[in-house]
Amino acid sequence: MTDTTTPSSIELLTFQLADQEYAIDIMSVREIRGWTRATPLPQAPRYMKGVINLRGTVLPVMDLAQRLGLAPRAQGDRAVIIVVKHEDSMTGLLVDAVSDIVALTTDNLQVPPDGAAGAGGVVSALTLIDDRMIRVLDLGATVNVSESLAA
């Protein structure tokens, strides 16, 4: 008897945040842009940097490190905005640097141990790539659609 389940392939975009490595599904990435000064909006959540004009579309930009509760850091010259689409909403994620694109199968992903996924369960999986522990973000949990639309 053979197991007929075949692991599906997935490609992840990996990036740096405060000396840590994270990843998101490449299918949600629309483009990667150099840092552009965002226009802050009053009473926005602290992690929202503001909005930018993306070819005529106003796009909210979130400081992903602040959103994840990581330690404050100085913004380097490699900082970029990853434009992602979740459901019908586009959001810019400010990260320290983009690393690479990796191809895996779902067998390479492990569920984080109980209590280790962080507040809000933003880490959906962990994977090892060349001895590097990569945290795979749950984009839905990370990008709150109602807050993105309000920014």
pLDDT tens, position by position, 102-121: 999 999 999 988 766 555 68
| Residue 33 within a domain | yes
| Residue 3 within a domain | no
| Residue 149 within a domain | no
Say which CATH number the domain at 32 has: 2.40.50.180
| Residue 116 within a domain | yes
pLDDT tens, position by position, 9-19: 999 999 999 88
What's the number of domains the chain is made of?
Answer: 1
Percent of the chain with pLDDT over 90: 64
DSSP string, the chain: ------PPEEEEEEEEETTEEEEEEGGGEEEEEE----B--TT--TTEEEEEEETTEEEEEEEHHHHTTPPP----TT-EEEEEEETTEEEEEEESEEEEEEEEEGGG-BPPPTT-S-GGG-EEEEEEETTEEEEEE-HHHHS-HHHHHH-
| Residue 55 within a domain | yes
Q: What mean pLDDT is predicted for residues 37-48?
A: 93
| Residue 151 within a domain | no
| Residue 2 within a domain | no
Q: What is the pTM of this model?
A: 0.86
| Residue 1 within a domain | no
Beta bridge partners of 83: 31, 92
pLDDT tens, position by position, 61-102: 999 999 998 887 788 888 999 999 999 899 999 999 999 999
Give the range of the structural domain holding residue 26, as residue numbers without chain letter: 10-143
